Amino acid sequence: MNAISNPTRQRLISLVRLLEQLENTGKTKVSSAEIQNRTGWNRDTVRRDILALQANCGSAQGYEINALKQAIRKALNLNNAEKKCCIVGLGELGAALARHGSMEGSAFVVCAGFDSNVNRTETLVMPFALYPAIRMEQVISSEHIEYAILATDEKEARPMALRLYACGIRGIVNCTGTVLPSYGDVAVHNLSVLDALQNIASSQHNVIEEN
Amino acid sequence: MNAISNPTRQRLISLVRLLEQLENTGKTKVSSAEIQNRTGWNRDTVRRDILALQANCGSAQGYEINALKQAIRKALNLNNAEKKCCIVGLGELGAALARHGSMEGSAFVVCAGFDSNVNRTETLVMPFALYPAIRMEQVISSEHIEYAILATDEKEARPMALRLYACGIRGIVNCTGTVLPSYGDVAVHNLSVLDALQNIASSQHNVIEEN
DNA sequence: AGTTGTGAAGACTTTCACAGCT
DNA sequence: AGCTGTGAAAGTCTTCACAACT
């Protein structure tokens, strides 16, 4: 029972999305070469990733899309009962992430939102319950919420994260600019548009210097 | 002139943010151990990362924060003239990213927004010019825009990306759910809250299975 | 005690090369 | 021709261990 490595897991998670998009075009088979075209990942790497699933869904005509999708979901535990999450911080970004909700069809459901501005929680209309931040620990515990999407402004990010660390949550997706560490059993994943821009720009800079 | 590796570059970019936050608390020195506490990165890795800068800003009392920050910025080309970017797709998410703008103080400036819905470009108020999507290629070229933040809905993501590939841009930060590859000289960085959630959840799943 | 800097070892990932199959 | 599956090689990254210094 080989564990699936981190890089492989990240690619497989994206691959599920790609497979869904390919299915919508009516395709039923896909080759590692086509996946390479669509994602930029080397085809050998793609085959190794799929091999790690031990799913046996490939043939000389390529992989069976539906079988592969199910195998990934099963291996990564992504088709189980709905995992509850909440959004912390209902500013413009938090509200956009909440409504934008590309979560449908996923194993996750947003079931609560918190903001320290009571005005915000009383006037916003969302398809889930909103609470003042002071009730956060209580609601997370009573509703058995496991994941948080953190979208406060930068100043509130650390204090809110410290509260989240302490209330039995399993993971945080941090959409604030503040860098936050994982803490004990609480996994943190930092997302930042600016970091992404800087990564692209500086990697191109270094490429130029190599020549 | 050793090139800086990808993992190192990503950490250094986040490290700059952390250093800024530490500076705001009045600190002037920081050790690799404290960086480990704040980020979760192993302290040996932190030291190696900083060593790659060849900046010589460490002593037995730790690193000089300001010198380290400048060294990273210089090595990664993050303090140069403003690099222009645009936002493609001005739905709720695009608008939030535009205004939320944690870009101030960075090497980037948003200077245009595009949407295929003319209503949107005419009624939204932003601190930069808005254009109908049909003018995208023309504006990107005439304004010398180098980077794009893609925030359309999923259906528009691929066609918009294909247009961006073709108009001389250097990089795209893709905030749509659609997986997009880098293409030629155009680097793409995919950002997804759902992917981040799934990563956290499935990594914890695998940890449990290992026991 | 603490710190950085660094060679060496270890662990991990990707890529190559090719067998076997359609 | 195409494809997957896979051992082996190559490449990359992290961690260990410790010298040198405050």
pLDDT digits (tens, 9 = 90+) for A144-165: 999 999 999 999 999 999 999 9
- The pLDDT assigned to B3 comes to 85
Contact check, Cβ <8 Å, A3/B209 = yes
- The pLDDT assigned to B206 comes to 57
- The pLDDT assigned to B208 comes to 42
Distances (CA, A) of B95 to A93, A136, B11, B89: 9, 27, 28, 8
**Which residues of the protein have their beta carbon within 7 Å of strand C?**
A 5-8, 41-42, 44-45, 48, 59-61; B 31-34, 43-44, 47-48, 50-51, 56-63
Nearest nt by C1' to B47 Cα: C4
**Total-model pTM:** 0.94
As a whole number of angstroms, the distance between CA A87 and CA A121 comes to 12
Distances (CA, A) of A197 to A75, B44, B91, B101: 32, 27, 20, 13
Averaged pLDDT for residues A48-60? 94
Partner A contacted by B192 (CB < 8 A): yes
As a whole number of angstroms, the distance between CA B47 and CA B68 comes to 12
Beta-carbon count within 10 A of A148 CB? 29
Could you list the pLDDT tens digit for every one of the 211 residues in chain B?
468 999 999 999 999 999 999 999 999 999 999 999 999 999 999 999 999 999 989 899 999 999 999 999 999 999 877 899 999 999 999 999 998 867 888 999 999 999 999 999 999 999 999 999 999 999 999 999 999 999 999 999 999 999 999 999 999 999 999 999 999 999 999 999 999 999 999 998 754 443 3
- When the pLDDT of each residue in chain A is averaged and rounded to a whole number, the result is 93
As a whole number of angstroms, the distance between CA A29 and CA A62 comes to 6
- Looking at beta carbons, which residues of chain A come within 8 Å of B85? 197
As a whole number of angstroms, the distance between CA A140 and CA A137 comes to 5
Please, are residues A17 and A78 in contact by the beta-carbon 8 Å criterion?
no
- The pLDDT assigned to A100 comes to 80
Q: Mind listing the pLDDT tens digit for each residue in B27-41?
A: 999 999 999 999 999
Mutate to test the interface with B, among A32, A198, A204, A208 (most CBs of B within 10 A): A198
B14 touches strand D (CB under 7 A): no
As a whole number of angstroms, the distance between CA A42 and CA B110 comes to 33
Here the contacts of B123-126 (C-beta below 8 Å, separation 24 or greater) are: B124/B90, B124/B95, B126/B90, B126/B95, B126/B98, B126/B99
CA of B188, C1' of D4: distance in angstroms: 29
Q: In this structure, what token pair is assigned to residue A75?
A: 């291996």
Q: Mind listing the pLDDT tens digit for each residue in A70-105?
A: 999 999 999 877 899 999 999 999 999 998 867 888
Extract the runs of DSSP E, i.e. beta strands, from B32-182.
58-59, 62-64, 83-88, 108-115, 129-132, 147-150, 171-174
CA of B20, C1' of D17: distance in angstroms: 32
Q: Where are the alpha helices (DSSP H) in chain A?
A: 6-24, 32-39, 43-51, 65-75, 92-100, 118-123, 136-143, 154-165, 193-210
Beta-carbon count within 10 A of B138 CB? 11
- The pLDDT assigned to A3 comes to 85
Q: Mind listing the pLDDT tens digit for each residue in A4-24?
A: 999 999 999 999 999 999 999
- The pLDDT assigned to B149 comes to 98
Averaged pLDDT for residues A181-205? 94
CA of B199, C1' of D6: distance in angstroms: 27
